[in-house]
Amino acid sequence: MLTRRKQKSLRAKMKQQKRHPVLDWAYAILWAACVVLVINQYIFQNYRIPSGSMENTLLVGDMLFVDKLSYGPELLPGVLKTPGISKPHRGNIIIFENPSYLSRGPVYTVFQQLLYMVTFTLVDIDREPTGEPRVHYLIKRAIGVEGDTLRVRDGEVFIKPRGSPDFFDERTLMTALALPVKTQRLVASSEYPEIDKVGVASAYSELNLPFPASLGTPSVQSANKDAFQYDMSRVTTLRDANPSNARNAQLAQRYGNGWFIADSRIFPMGDNRDNSRDGRYFGPVAEKKVLGHALFIYFPFSRIGGVR
């Protein structure tokens, strides 16, 4: 038996020696690519931070490893997510499918993701006609969990956990639970009366009504500082002027009451709260759409370390 094994090994070695060096390189690269794909798809995936929505926890250009095993990997990119060994918890930094993303089909998604993974995030063919990358995945912090009721007032988040009769501001709740509080605000509380005024002015314009001179001239630029607060003020004014408009009534009620987070859902928000398009705009996210959680920054070298 040992002789046969030795002969078989010798034949394989001789066959390899006869192979063209270019073919050897091709086999080696293909084998390495397969290993990278398996690791990226089922265990750890590379992810590059595309925007400043998580500053200063994660910066634009940071490259990190995402743990996919804990929440259950997909069999193929975008196809059939498997059960995980745990579920997202409050305070986790999670990666999930962008609810606003429009897929170009399963074949394209699989090919694009395989190419993205095997090139370590350097090649992304999923782009807009303008050349900008299409945002397929988002990275945010899990702020609300199942059973919570969450609402936003003047840019600040208030949470009523399951079983609690009261709302707590985000910082107080996170501190009490010994979770990191890394929220960064760019808009001062003193700026919100002006933002509300712009929202009211916009509603008056839609209603073809003159804006009351007693309120002064609103600064249109203020609306860009907190689009969520601006729209809340605008919609609430429209609802008050015409309560029979079902759409405005429904939106105003959502703004007023906030969100109840159903079972198996999570409410994600960016740490850079005033520069993040997150759950405030698309609502809670199903846990089955959460692909993993941020684990470790590996580049740039000056920022190597765990993510919390």
**Residue 293 forms part of a structural domain:** yes
Q: Are residues 58 and 90 in the same domain?
A: yes
Establish whether the linkage from the previous residue to 56 is cis, with ω within 30° of 0: yes
2 inside domain: no
The CATH number linked to 76 is 2.10.109.10
Same structural domain, 100 and 239: no
Residues 139 and 63 in one domain: yes
Within-domain flag for 168: no
Which pLDDT score is estimated for 304? 94
- Same-domain check for residues 65 and 121: yes
Same domain, 48 and 138: yes
> In sequence order, what are the residues at sequence separation of 6 or more whose Cβ sits closer than 8 angstroms to the Cβ of residue 268?
94, 96, 138, 140, 141, 142, 143, 278, 279, 285
Per-residue model confidence (pLDDT) at position 136: 86
Give me the pLDDT at residue 1, please. 62
User: Does residue 50 share a domain with residue 105?
Assistant: yes
Q: Which residues form the domain of 52?
A: 43-144+272-306
Residue 15 is assigned to a structural domain of this protein: no
> Does 139 fall in a domain?
yes
What is the model's pLDDT at position 169?
95
pLDDT at 60: 93
Query: 3-11 long-range contacts, Cβ below 8 Å, gap at least 24?
Result: none
pLDDT tens, residue order, the chain (308 aa)? 657 777 777 676 666 566 667 777 777 777 777 777 777 778 888 888 989 999 999 999 999 999 998 998 887 766 778 888 899 999 999 999 898 888 887 788 878 877 877 777 778 888 888 888 888 889 999 999 999 999 999 999 999 999 999 999 999 999 999 998 899 999 999 999 999 999 999 999 999 999 888 778 888 788 889 999 999 999 999 999 999 999 999 999 999 999 999 999 999 999 999 999 999 999 999 998 999 999 999 999 999 999 98
Strands 93-97 and 149-153: what pairing?
unpaired
pLDDT of residue 13: 65
Domain co-membership, 128 together with 276: yes
**Residue 291 included in any domain:** yes
Is 227 in the same domain as 194? yes
Which residues is 64 bridged to in the sheet?
A: 47, 297
Domain count, the chain: 2
Residue 158 in any domain: the answer is no
Q: For position 153, what pLDDT does the model report?
A: 93
Q: Is 130 within a domain?
A: yes
